[in-house]
Structure 1
């Protein structure tokens, strides 16, 4: 009987290791076909603390991934509204631990959140949002 218990425990351990490896591979390669390279960013909803994650934008969608997977979106490009950007300062800068980030409020329908990105990634995001092809602006919020 003790030998069968050891075998069951070893099988359960192997299953956990394989599941963990599968999750790591999925997070690494699972969305490779959805657009450009992931952009490091921090995000927060009103009243919440900053969380680190990555943004990925494709032809018409923006998705946000946090530590546990998909955290927000995907949002349709034509319905995103980027507010006035400013440099992250004060407690926010201390919480993020990186000086020189750009903070931008984002609206999507009735939802609002803040993003913090470095300047070059903010510029790329702003250009991507503002380069919406004709007819995509103000399509129904998905």
Structure 2
């Protein structure tokens, strides 16, 4: 009985590691810590990930937001997170940026270097966008 439980735990652990490894394939950069807030909602912490053309936030417990297509994202003017926001997120020194995606809006809070990477990725020309131009 104990050996069966131990075997099941080992198989589960290997499966989770494989899922995490293969889930990272195609990512432009490693997942980065971030916080997400829909309009009028509370801050939710998670990891932000972007690949070739999609941005997604994976939260704790498997909750997620997105994916959002890069060409439809509009990053607003970034600012430092205020004291109230920093207290709710439980992190200091974050950059907050309002995001518009179609008719919905939300806020992201990231470290400065992660914000810079996100801004550069959003503003870069999407792969294949100009492929037929000679």
- Range into which the TM-score falls when normalised by the shorter chain: 0.7 to 0.9
| Distance (whole Å) between structure 2 residues aligned to residue 112 and residue 27 of structure 1 | 31
- Alignment pair present for 1:31 and 2:33: no
| Distance (whole Å) between structure 2 residues aligned to residue 134 and residue 33 of structure 1 | 17
1:105 counterpart (91, 98, 109): 98
Normalising by the residue count of structure 1, what TM-score does the alignment of the two structures yield?
Answer: 0.75
Normalising by the residue count of structure 2, what TM-score does the alignment of the two structures yield?
Answer: 0.79
Paired residue secondary structure (1:34): coil
Q: How many residues align?
A: 128
The within-5 A match list for 1:1-142 is 17=9, 21=13, 24-25=16-17, 28-35=20-27, 36-69=29-62, 71-133=64-126, 136=129
Per the alignment, do residues 105 and 20 of structure 1 end up closer, same or farther by CA in structure 2, a change over 3 Å counting? farther
Q: CA deviation at 1:21?
A: 3.6
- Tell me which structure has the larger Cα radius of gyration: 1
Gaps of 5+ in 1: 1-6, 137-142
Paired residue secondary structure (2:65): strand
C-alpha RMSD of matched pairs (Å): 2.6
Per the alignment, do residues 133 and 17 of structure 1 end up closer, same or farther by CA in structure 2, a change over 3 Å counting? closer
